[in-house]
Amino acid sequence: MNITASELKTWLLQYGQLLIEQTEYLTKLDSAIGDADHGVNMQRGATAMRQTLTETTKTAPSELLEEVAEAVLEGIGGAAGPLYASLFFGMAGAVDGETSVTPQQLGDALQAGVDSLAARGRAERGDKTMFDAAGPAIEAFRQTLDAGDDLNTAIEAAESAANLGRDETAPMQARKGRASYLGPRSVGHIDPGATSVALLFEALTELSGTENS
């Protein structure tokens, strides 16, 4: 019923897989409004993260998440590196001392991670950033659980909220990061950061069925 380090590993390995598959797409998005490096950076980060995940001996969720944070920090590099590292460090802090977590605790941890991401980037909703996908996703996840639904339903809700949030960045004008230098010209393009973070929630579907097993 509970989620252990091993399930988190599965989730993040899948996330890495998705990032590597989507490298070209992310590059294309970033070349429209950024410096065309998000795809390559995320791919490099994914490789570093997957290597950490295959070699790690950690069994506590918080320790595993800390290792992932360290791997993506320099692995991704650029501005996204510290942002993703903040997300995972934030999650790690929330599950400190636990050997496994309930879906509610996972929700709390994701919330802590997203909070820490937003704080690091000083991002608000509507700034056309990663937070525009991550914010709605974690809200949907927790609201679904609070309503009494199971983990599978919560994951589905988070995934579709993240995708919706991602798509809604298109009409926004960027107010943070490199894209903000473009001003009104950033309008009309999906934000690459929001896209890569939506994949993180898409990868959560790997955990579907955990509860039933």
Partner 1 sequence: MIGIVIVSHSLALAEAAHDFASTMAPNSSLKVEIAAGDAQGELGTSATKIASAIKRAASGDGVWVVVDLGSALLNSEMAVDLAGASNYEIVVSASSLVEGLTAAMATAARGASLTEVELEACRASNLQQLSLPETPQPDVWSGWDDAAALETTARIVDKNGLHARPSARLAQAVASFDAQVRIRNSSRSGPFVDASSITNLMTLGASAGDVMTIESCGRQAQETLDQLRDLLSDGTNPAESNPEQELIGVSSGVAVGPVVRANRSRTDWMHATYEALSVSEEQDRFNAALEAVKEELLHLAALTRATTGDSEALIIDSARNILDDFQLLNPVRNEIQTGTSALQAWVVEVSSLLARVESLPEPYQRQRATDIRDLRDRVAAELAGVPASLEDLKSGIIVAAELSAADVAQLDPKSCLGIATTHGSRTSHASILARSLSIPAIVGVSAETIEALIGRTVLLDASASEIIVDPTDEQIEQRTLVNESNSLTEHEDQAASEQKVASHPVTTSDGLAISVGANVALPDQAVEARAAGADSVGLLRTEFMFANWAEAPSADQHYQAYADIANKLDGRPLTIRTFDSANDKPISFLGGNLSEGPRGLQLSLAYPRVLGDQLSAIARLSFETPVRLLFPYVTNAREITEVKNLLVKVAKTHTSSSVLDSLKLGAMIEAPGAVLDIKAIAEEVDFLSIGTNDLSSEMFGLDRRDPGAYSTLSAFDPAVLRLLKIVATEREELPISVCGELANEQDAVPLLIGLGIDQLSVRPSKVSLVKDEVTRWAKSEATDLATKALELRNGEQVRDLVQQVRANRGLEAILEREKIVEETD
* Least distance CB 44 / partner 1 (angstroms): 9
Size, binding site for partner 1 by CB under 8 A: 15
| Positions in 111-140 near partner 1 (CB under 8 A) | 120-121
Give the residue with the Cβ less far from partner 1, 78 or 165: 78
Taking CB under 8 A as the criterion, the residue among 26, 42, 72, 85 binding partner 1 is: 85
Beta carbons within 8 Å of 186's beta carbon, 6+ residues apart = 33, 128, 172, 173, 174, 179, 180
Helix (H, G, I), strand (E, B) or coil at 101: strand
Taking CB under 8 A as the criterion, the residue among 61, 82, 113, 165 binding partner 1 is: 82
Beta carbons within 8 Å of 152's beta carbon, 6+ residues apart = 208, 209, 211
What are 132's two structure tokens? Answer: 């525009």
Euclidean distance between the first and the last CA atom of the chain, given in angstroms as a whole number = 7
Alpha-carbon distance of 114 to 131, in angstroms, equals 7
| Positions in 139-168 near partner 1 (CB under 8 A) | none
Taking CB under 8 A as the criterion, the residue among 17, 178, 205, 208 binding partner 1 is: 178
8 Å CB contact between 41 and 77 = yes
| Positions in 19-78 near partner 1 (CB under 8 A) | 73-74, 77-78
Alpha-carbon distance of 8 to 12, in angstroms, equals 6
Give the residue with the Cβ less far from partner 1, 28 or 178: 178
| Positions in 86-115 near partner 1 (CB under 8 A) | 86, 89
Residue 83 touches partner 1, criterion: CB under 8 A: yes
Binding site for partner 1 (CB under 8 A): 73-74, 77-79, 81-83, 85-86, 89, 120-121, 177-178
